[in-house]
Amino acid sequence: MSMTEPLTHTATIALNDPAPVEVPVGATFVVNVAVACAQGGCDLHGHALNIAGPAGAGEIHQAPSENPDADDAFEVILQAPPRVGNHVWRISLPRDQADGVRHDAEPLSINVSVKPQASSLAVWDIPSPVVMGQAFDIKAGAKSAGDFKLTGRAIEVCDETGAVLAQGCLGDAPWPGTSGLYWTQLRLSAPDRDGPYAWTVRFAATDVELPHDGATSSCTVAVVRPAEHRLTVRVTEKDTSNPVDGADIRVGVHRATTDPAGLGAVDIPKGTYELVVWKVGYDVPVQSIEIHADRMVQAEAVVVPEEEPDAVWQT
């Protein structure tokens, strides 16, 4: 007695929406797949699929979940392997039969470029100005876009020639209030001449669990000569002579803020400077001043009428 051959129907496997062009290593992504019987109109909802991924992505025998946004689409979850490059997933129907019918379909190939995880870099707590030749500290931190732990990875500060000025390793815990910003404190020494310096902070992202892109950021440090004299600025309203509290004072790269008595002071080397005073609601003329000794300077603030726009600090 001969065995009856199972009935075979032709089926199709297709993407309802384009697959992503690229995904980060280790990331999961969803493709919307339509599986249909092209011959007998069989209901293939929930039909299991064979998913052959690149090495490291695993072999899956999966029943896709229905996509509520489309009648004929199913969501299939895939995971990128831990290697950068172009990778292929093949989705096919198993050779099993359901209700006495076997469905044959050409496998669906999905080509995706797998890229490194992105990383970002932050630099903060940069003192300004810094006296030439003196040591100072800054903070720097790196974050993985995939929230991978970056503890122990190196961060370095380089000058304009690429020479390493300081190096440190990221700590065990993220910066408080952040999600995965691992950080360290770096000690630097100011150059022995004054002026602005732009340095590069680098995170190479080596030896991370999965491949990551490195990240760079810049920090600008204003280096000044040692202070020789004290400049005290008294800011008052021109019409009333009342002191102006909370006014910002700028003398070159030096900064101060007035107290309730309208007084603010900066310690600076001798030289010629522009004295700029600013506070919302006031207009204060810029003064050119010479510093050869300790000095007190008066600044008169004119109240800006309400119908005029707020003044803007010009940096």
Please state which CATH number belongs to domain 119-224: 2.60.40.10
d(C-alpha 78, C-alpha 26), whole Å: 10
Q: Which candidate, 199, 150, 209, 210, places its Cα nearest to that of 175?
A: 150
pLDDT given at position 315: 45
Per-domain residue ranges of the chain: 7-115, 119-224, 229-303
Centroid of chain to Cα 251: 33
d(C-alpha 53, C-alpha 82), whole Å: 12
Q: What is the mean pLDDT of each run of 10 residues along the chain (315 residues)?
A: 68 90 92 82 75 65 55 78 93 74 88 95 94 96 93 95 95 93 96 94 90 94 95 96 96 95 96 96 95 96 74 48
What tokens were used for 158? 């380089």
Q: Do 229-303 and 119-224 fall under one CATH topology?
A: yes
- Strand, helix or coil for residue 187: strand
Pick among 2.102.10.10, 1.20.810.10, 3.40.50.1970, 2.60.40.10: CATH of 7-115: 2.60.40.10
pTM above 0.85, yes or no: no
The correct answer on CATH 3.40.190.10 for the domain covering 229-303 is no
pLDDT given at position 10: 87
pLDDT given at position 180: 93
pLDDT given at position 99: 66
pLDDT given at position 60: 52
Widest Cα–Cα separation across the chain:
117
Query: Where does residue 237 rank: exposed (0-12), middle (13-18), buried (19+ CB within 10 A)?
Result: middle
